[in-house]
Amino acid sequence: MGEAIKAINLTKAFGKLVAVDHINFEVREEEIFGFLGPNGAGKSTTIKMLTTVLKPTEGTAIVNGYDIIKDPAGVRRSIGVVPQEFTADEDLTGWENMMMMAGLYGINKDVAKERAKELLDMVELTQAMNRKVETYSGGMRRRLEIAMSLISRPKILFLDEPTLGLDAQTRNAIWNYIMKLKREYGMTIFVTTHYLEEADLYADRIAIIDHGKILAIGSPKELKESIGGDVVTLTTSNDDEAMKLLQNLDGVLDVKKVDGMLRIKAKNGEETAPQILERLIKNGLKVSRMSITKPTMDEVYMEYTGRKMRDEEGDSREAFLMRRTLRRARG
């Protein structure tokens, strides 16, 4: 598959503040690409440059084969955008908003009606389509905006925090539409979020951005593996003996006794656990309990940004240095 987006040294400075700092990445066709980062990381600024709302200070990007600087009109024709701020007209009905959007793209009336029906149906707004938008809930508005952004049948959809501030059930529904767009229409989706679980569950690949720089990029699985693997926890008939036996086993990164159990860091838990068992049993030990836990996106995020997603500021630098020191000490 080809690439839908390619950012090349993409940079935006506001005076002295470099909001997006020479970033390079590619988004493949038909993937859900999650752009993950805390408030102020540079996510919206990146989206605004990719959708030609803002001009880069330096660098460029190719979107759907069009250069965002040389051919912004080409870019705009081939993309759909759901910005963070609500843009639908409150005084119009859902249906009228759809028609207004179609008008902006110069879409033939009959075609527009056909598409509007299908899209409103997809986001489950058919029943509410003749009501004024001012009566819509937050979730309904977001769904309408998604439908509006699709009226031109774009190849790439940009969504800036589409689930921000919505309840869990609505967030789920929004992600279901996003998955459907990828599955049924083969769309490429570029989506920013600061919900780690959502990126983990739904994105094919994730870029973690902070202070305008991309800190890591990969599938959720690759990112989780990159921070040092899984944890296998064991209870054995002789933990001291077990520790000695496992220390040099292939795939084992570290063995520790914690709370009366053995805590083993392994590159890949599923592959290493059977080998652990085999070695212990061969040497006459009994294993009474065993579990495998995978690192979470929270840990990935903390590892790369040096802070938790929700306590944004605080002593993040210290926390980062502490973690790095501990990691190095562990070897």
Ligand X SMILES: Nc1ncnc2c1ncn2[C@@H]1O[C@H](COP(=O)(O)OP(=O)(O)OP(=O)(O)O)[C@@H](O)[C@H]1O
Supply 201's token pair: 């569950």
Please give the Cα distance from 239 to 71 (Å, whole number): 66
Within the chain, where are the H helices?
A: 43-50, 72-77, 94-104, 109-122, 138-149, 168-185, 196-202, 220-226, 239-246, 269-282, 297-305, 316-330
> How far apart, in whole angstroms, are the C-alpha atoms of residue 189 and residue 202?
11
Name the residue nearer to ligand X (CB basis): 19 or 187: 19
Comparing C-alpha atoms, which of 77, 80, 55 is closest to residue 68? 55
Does residue 305 interact with ligand X by CB under 6 A?
no
Contacting ligand X (CB under 6 A), which of 4, 7, 10, 19? 19
Nearer to ligand X, 122 or 217 (CB): 217
Q: Which stretch binds ligand X (CB under 6 A): 42-50, 89-97, 195-203, 307-315?
A: 42-50
Residue number with CB closer to ligand X (55 or 286)? 55
Q: Which is nearer to ligand X, 43 or 307 (CB)?
A: 43
When the beta carbons of 48 and 224 are compared against ligand X, the nearer one is 48
Asked if 306 interacts with ligand X (CB under 6 A), we say no
- Does 93 interact with ligand X (rule: CB under 6 A)? no
Distance (Å, whole) CA 68 – CA 95: 31
Task: Kindly tell me which residue out of 14, 24, 176, 237 binds ligand X, with binding defined by CB under 6 A.
Answer: 14
CA distance 32 to 191: 7
307 binds ligand X (CB under 6 A): no
Cβ-contact 152, 107 below 8 angstroms: yes
According to the binding rule CB under 6 A, does residue 105 interact with ligand X?
Answer: no
Q: Which parts of this chain interact with ligand X (CB under 6 A)?
A: 14, 17, 19, 37, 39-45
